[in-house]
Structure 1
Amino acid sequence: MKEEKVYLRLKKKIAVKKQHLIRLGDIAHITGNIDFLDKLKELKIYQITEKDNNVSVIDGFQLLETLVAHYPFLTIELLGSNQTIIEIKKEEKKANLLLIFAIWLLLCIGSAMAIMNFHYDVSMEEVHQGLFYLLTGDRQDKPLWIQIPYSIGLGLGMILFFNHIFKKRFNEEPSPLEVEMFNYQQDLDQYLIYHENALNKRDDS
């Protein structure tokens, strides 16, 4: 008699609506040599409640506990991650165009002030004047033929650095901002796994 074996790989993160009933197929990729894989995918794992607020975490041990209780004859192997983060969607609200414009304006002004203050701190105007004198032998307070290309190059450099212009991406390489956002999301996920574990919530209640 062959051993009935099931392999599970938990999904790292999923998004569901409020009051959603989490089933095995929602949070895991499943394979094995059994004939009832489709039935196994429909196994009830966790019911989202109001106590979960915006996020919950399903632990691999909780999952195995449920599977063993329903299918004690199965050999189960859990591969990869041991937790699945469940993001609970809120009702979508219409975008406030006035708020978006205010934030956009604030960011633009803040960025412009940061660039201007940086140039003031490093005496960029004097640098341009010195460069103009070095190249031409003349002194000029506003060497525009250096300052204008420099300003254009500064903008182009920022576009290339962030690898975006509006929604257009120049290549598949992530920008430094995307890398930092990814690292932040990884740290946030680890925090949620530690503090929002659904198994711990169940034990504490």
Structure 2
Amino acid sequence: MKKSVELPKYQEVTLKNIAHISIDSSYKEELDNTTIYHITKKDKNIVVIDSFLIIDYLNKKFPELELQVIGPAQCIIRIHEKKKPLSFLLVVIVWLILFIGTAMTIMNFHYDVSMQEVQQKLHFLLTGQENEFPLWIQVPYSIGLGIGMLLFFNHWFSKKFNEEPSPLEIEINNYQQNLDDYLIQNENMLDDERNNR
């Protein structure tokens, strides 16, 4: 079973859409194209299909086959609609908000830790002279801060510096796994409620 897949609205879900099939017989093509579910309007944007229901259905349709499930017990189908093109104005507004918010965060952090005073004292220790704006320390520090953030997030727009996932990608993956676990658990609770009625 595949853990999750993305399919368009109103599509018939076949077995090959939600599972990898390994078989040494002429049934492969027929199994691949067996319709398991039909996405309807009431499904909204997520459908959870349980492997035990699939096994029951396939056992009735192919009683001569022995079926085994390997991997996740459920497959989450995410129903996607055609995406509207992004508005250039919206992108610019979001970019400005993020830019200003990030700049304010960095400035407030530097103010909290008295970064300017630290740099002034460092300048005095190294040169023996007092200077309110030691630019020879501040400019390389600012450039290094930007480069450090680029290296930490491992991205320059769509270009990656190496194949390792960035911390942000790992967090997004962890969030997605937690969301999938919640959806599977919630769907099972809803099924139990329906069966008790």
> TM-score range, shorter-chain basis?
over 0.9
* Residue equivalent to 1:15: 6
Q: 1:195 to 1:51 in 2, by over 3 A?
A: farther
Deviation at 1:136, TM superposition (A): 0.4
Query: In the aligned structure 1, how far is the partner of 2:42 from the partner of 2:192?
Result: 9
Deviation at 1:89, TM superposition (A): 1.0
Amino acid in the other structure paired with 2:50: D
More relative contact order in 1 or in 2 (CA 8 Å, sep 6+)? 1
Please list every run of 5 or more consecutive structure 1 residues that lacks an aligned counterpart in the other structure: 1-9
Aligned-partner SS, 1:34: coil
Deviation at 1:196, TM superposition (A): 3.7
Deviation at 1:202, TM superposition (A): 11
Residue 183 (structure 2) pairs with residue 192 (structure 1): yes
| Identical counterparts, % of pairs | 51
State the TM-score, normalized to the length of structure 2. Answer: 0.94
* Residue equivalent to 2:165: 174
State the TM-score, normalized to the length of structure 1. Answer: 0.90
Could you tell me whether the CA contact under 8 Å between 1:23 and 1:42 is conserved in 2?
yes
* Residue equivalent to 1:50: 41
Number of aligned residue pairs? 195
Amino acid in the other structure paired with 1:123: S
Q: Alignment partner for residue 69 of structure 1, among 60, 69, 72? A: 60
Q: Which has the higher strand share?
A: 1
Amino acid in the other structure paired with 2:165: P
RMSD: 1.8
Amino acid in the other structure paired with 2:40: T
Amino acid in the other structure paired with 1:157: G
Deviation at 1:50, TM superposition (A): 1.4
